[in-house]
Amino acid sequence: MNKLIIFFFIVACSFSLKAQQGNLSVLKSNAALFHETKVYQNNARLEYIDNNRIVNTNSMTLPFVDDFYRNTLKPYNFDELYINDTILYASGTCISNGDFDVFNKAFSNTQAYYYFYDTILDIVDSIMLPQVQVYNFSEATCFPTETSIANFWPAYYRSSLADFDIVTGEKLDSSLVVPDTTITLATIYFANLPDQFNWIDNFAWWNTTLPINPITIGVATLDGLNEYGLAYNKTVTNAYGEADVLTSRPIDLSLLGENDNVYLSFFYQAGGLGDFPNPEDSLSVQFRGLDGVWSTKWSIPGSTDDKFKQVYIPIYGNSFDSLIYSYPDFQFRFKNYASLSGNNDIWNIDYVRLDKNRQPNTLDSVVRDVALLYDFPSYLKTYSMLPWNQIQAGADSFADTIIIPIRDNGQVEGIQTGSFPLEINISNSINADIIYNESGTSFNPQLGQEIKNHEILPSTNFVLPSFASDSAYFNTSFAIAPINRNSRTANDTINNRLLFYNVMAYDDGSAERAYGMSGGGNEVKRFAYEYNVAEQDTLAAIQIHFSNIDVNVDDLVFSIFVWDSLEIGASEIDAEKYILGSIDNKKAVYIDNVNGFATFVFDTPIIVNDKFYVGWAQIDNRNLQIGYDLNSTKGRDKMFEFANNVWYPSSVSLAGSPMLRIILDGDFPIPDQETSIQNVSKIEYIKVYPNPTNSVLNIDIPESLSDYSISIIDFTGKQVYLGNEHQIDVSAFTKGMYLLSVIDNSSLKRYSSRFLVGSI
């Protein structure tokens, strides 16, 4: 029986009295990016160093256009796919300038040999070792053509008959022939960057989740994180400096000059759904001259204005620019200065264009493109994911309305694109039955509606299929077909997949903020997240995405709880009363599992019915931060915080969803009696008081127990007490959370409770 009791007046009056409250923070890492690139972070760097790759990027011809509808940054698996040649031994001034990882190697100027013992002829024999080619790169252009090639022999060891075991032929000893030459060398790798990539680095992050009303779907984001989604500087507090760069591939401007009106334009947005850049932060654009020097041509300080703005920059501001920028390998780059300790100071870049014969402040500034702006949204009402059996049983339904924004960028000049058809198709993975189809619908953005929403009514028009399956997914395709003023068609289609399997979640997997509890001194801080199943199921595990923010708190100890009820707004005298189960004394695991979620498994799955709550408790004053998804607001009214022995709805004002998920094991056999679950007794439970305490702990034992033992485990997992006393002096215990278990010595049934040693 669920006992959710809501006292609205108490809740309203009590917020100001809370000693602790939930709060949102800026992220210190990017989980999505970290996991996309983790395999490449962990590659052993024994054969090469990142900078030892010489990348051949064929120069592009104008126009250069990138609207970021797809990821056009250098791929992370570049080494695996695009390395086409390797030089083991490269020397010369080009590799000794600090850009390469080098080593010293000794060679012989005369023939080298390998010595071995011939057991048949009973003699020492030798074979000639092949020559080693050392490529010298010392010309001004350096690569890819070598200045010269020198031939050497490897250093070698001479052996005599006395150096071998004449029975086995095993070499026992040898003497080094002193080499003639020692050379500083590097191993270098040559590669070609395919034409579909417009940028030669990946320090920026391509995504569709951080921008607000982008020009088209997809942006490149510059922040305080490196290419792997981790802070540039994790050791220095408030570290600041050069952060991301986004560098174009070479562009051929060799036949152009001051009179050709060559301009670079782009749109930028400060912050978006991420952290706003501060006034001391900046975004800049730099050009690379013929001499290899980068010069800043435009810069803007940070602000809280989150509107996309377009910038025009001339390539040739004067006649001198024609001398240094009119060459076949011209490049430009975006660069930001930011806090280097986290996912801070964000800039979103969209719709970059470089071309000749352009005129700023004219119709040239108009982007003649009709585009979709975001991925297809979730069309479930309550959850972003849930098992197929639960949606079949009614745990969720289709949303009443979902919105697909479409931008008619050409309306800047007061001309609309006109009506055009659109098409939507959603089918299931089991038998490809149609869930929803909309074809040929006329969509007509009116003047003044630069962004117009297409509304879909899932609860009215979608058909929920019925079939027996553990899991399923829905394939979704949405396409628009403008025929006028639509210069790029690739951004007119989005394809998504909605999964149904054993995960139940409110978030969509992207963390734009971090949520945690603060304040309260030594008071227990608790967070609870409401879930609801339509049919009895088994809770097998909890998944949490931890977001490292101001400090690393991977030594913070917490416990995970499952409650069948919360008395919202009422003083909860017995905090153990409604606990279904727990996972005690755990620590945060930062981005260490698939998709950025650490998984905590119950020893025995817990039976859940109807409404229940999952969350954690901690006594550490530091924040145990978990991801907070701003793109999905489904979990906002399911959040509850505990203060002064009272549960309250969360005080966080910004709508979003904490990234705490549950795993339901639908195949786990459900026992007849709930009391068969280990560590849980709904009929008889252990009461300990006072809690917290700093002196004597009293224990009430169920009358049915006559032969029992009591065990106390500290937050490190160490047993600190074993006996059968009803009163235990804990004054010498270290402050912290403890697990107390009463074990029935005859049936081995276990009753558990928790208590806190600390301030009363």
Position 31 scores a pLDDT of 57
CB atoms within 10 A of CB 550: 16
Position 6 scores a pLDDT of 31
* Coil, helix or strand at residue 159: coil
Higher pLDDT, 96 or 68: 68
- Straight-line distance from the first to the last Cα atom of the chain, in angstroms, rounded to the nearest whole number: 32
Please check the confidence at residue 683 and state whether its pLDDT lies above 50.
no
CB atoms within 10 A of CB 393: 14
Q: Give the pairing type, strands 53-56 and 181-192.
A: parallel
Position 716 scores a pLDDT of 61
- Assess whether the previous peptide bond of 63 is cis (omega < 30° from 0): yes
Position 54 scores a pLDDT of 81
User: Which DSSP letter does residue 195 get?
Assistant: T
Please check the confidence at residue 595 and state whether its pLDDT lies above 50.
no
Higher pLDDT, 56 or 349: 349
CA-based Rg of the chain, rounded to a whole angstrom? 33
One-letter amino acid at 276 equals: F
Task: Give the range with max mean pLDDT: 190-204, 301-315, 573-587.
Answer: 301-315
Confidence of residue 499 (pLDDT cuts 50, 70, 90): confident
Q: Please name the residue ranges forming H helices in 631-731.
A: none
Q: Give the pairing type, strands 148-154 and 132-136.
A: antiparallel
Average pLDDT (731-745) is 81
Position 547 scores a pLDDT of 77
CB atoms within 10 A of CB 351: 25
Provide the whole-model pTM: 0.73
Task: Give the residues across from 151 on adjacent strands.
Answer: 133
**CATH of the domain spanning 195-365, picked from 2.60.120.260, 2.130.10.10, 1.10.10.10, 1.10.3210.10:** 2.60.120.260
- State the Cα angle at 274 between 268 and 276, rounded to 5°: 65
Higher pLDDT, 671 or 434: 434
CB under 8 Å to 296, separation ≥6 — which residues?
A: 284, 285, 286
Position 253 scores a pLDDT of 95
Position 264 scores a pLDDT of 98
Position 682 scores a pLDDT of 32
Position 37 scores a pLDDT of 54
* Coil, helix or strand at residue 448: coil
Please check the confidence at residue 532 and state whether its pLDDT lies above 50.
yes
Contact between 388 and 472 (Cβ < 8 Å): yes
Average pLDDT (639-659) is 89
37-51, 100-114, 529-543: range with lowest mean pLDDT: 37-51
Average pLDDT (242-266) is 94
- State the Cα angle at 529 between 524 and 533, rounded to 5°: 140
169-173, 656-660, 711-715: range with lowest mean pLDDT: 711-715
Position 40 scores a pLDDT of 47
Per-residue burial over 257-289, b if 16 or more Cβ lie within 10 Å, else e, is bbebbbbbbbbbbbbbbbbbbbeebbbbbbbbb
Position 12 scores a pLDDT of 34
139-143, 186-190, 448-452: range with lowest mean pLDDT: 139-143
Q: What is the 3-state secondary structure (H, E, C) of 519-568?
A: ECCCCCEEEEEEEECCCCEEEEEEEECECCCCCCCCCCEEEEEEECCCCE
* CA separation, residue 200 to residues 34, 400, 566 (Å): 19, 44, 54
Please check the confidence at residue 78 and state whether its pLDDT lies above 50.
yes
Please check the confidence at residue 136 and state whether its pLDDT lies above 80.
yes
Task: Write out pLDDT tens, residues 468-489.
Answer: 777 788 999 999 999 888 889 9
User: What strands lie across the sheet with 420-428, from one edge to the other?
Assistant: 434-443, 420-428, 472-480, 493-500
Cα–Cα dist 475/459, whole Å: 18
Position 42 scores a pLDDT of 46
Position 750 scores a pLDDT of 67
CB under 8 Å to 353, separation ≥6 — which residues?
A: 63, 64, 65, 264, 265, 266
Please check the confidence at residue 217 and state whether its pLDDT lies above 90.
yes
Task: Give the range with max mean pLDDT: 61-70, 158-167, 603-612, 619-628.
Answer: 61-70
Task: Write out pLDDT tens, residues 336-369.
Answer: 999 887 778 999 999 999 999 998 888 888 898 9
Confidence of residue 10 (pLDDT cuts 50, 70, 90): very low
Task: Write out pLDDT tens, residues 163-210.
Answer: 999 888 899 999 999 999 999 999 988 888 888 899 988 899 999 999
Average pLDDT (12-33) is 53
Please check the confidence at residue 15 and state whether its pLDDT lies above 80.
no
Q: Please name the residue ranges forming H helices in 328-463.
A: 388-393, 458-461
Architecture of the domain delimited by 372-504: Sandwich (2.60)
CB atoms within 10 A of CB 735: 13
CATH code assigned to 684-757: 2.60.40.10
Task: Give the residues across from 647 on adjacent strands.
Answer: 568, 642
Position 677 scores a pLDDT of 28
Going from N- to C-terminal start, the domains of the chain cover: 8-27+511-664, 50-57+75-192, 195-365, 372-504, 684-757
Position 681 scores a pLDDT of 31
51-60, 102-111, 572-581: range with lowest mean pLDDT: 572-581
Q: What percentage of the chain exceeds 70 in pLDDT? A: 86
Position 717 scores a pLDDT of 61
CB atoms within 10 A of CB 487: 13
Position 711 scores a pLDDT of 85
35-49, 206-220, 660-674: range with lowest mean pLDDT: 35-49
Beta strands in 289-359 (DSSP E): 294-301, 309-314, 331-339, 347-355
Domains 195-365 and 684-757 share a fold: no
Architecture of the domain delimited by 8-27+511-664: Sandwich (2.60)
The tally of CA atoms less than 13 A away on the side-chain side of residue 642 is 21
Higher pLDDT, 14 or 403: 403
Mean residue pLDDT across the chain: 83
Average pLDDT (292-314) is 95
* CA separation, residue 143 to residues 96, 184, 299, 454 (Å): 14, 18, 32, 53
Task: Write out pLDDT tens, residues 388-424.
Answer: 889 999 999 999 999 999 999 988 777 778 889 999 9
Place of tokens 């029986």: 1
74-88, 208-222, 298-312, 598-612: range with lowest mean pLDDT: 74-88
Closest CA to 755 of 614, 559, 599: 559
Q: For the CA atoms of 615, 617, 621, 626, what is the dihedral angle to 10 degrees?
A: -20
Task: Give the range with max mean pLDDT: 28-42, 206-220, 521-535, 610-624.
Answer: 206-220
* Helix-then-strand count for the chain, H and E: 6, 48
Higher pLDDT, 83 or 379: 379
Cα–Cα dist 503/497, whole Å: 15
Please check the confidence at residue 134 and state whether its pLDDT lies above 70.
yes
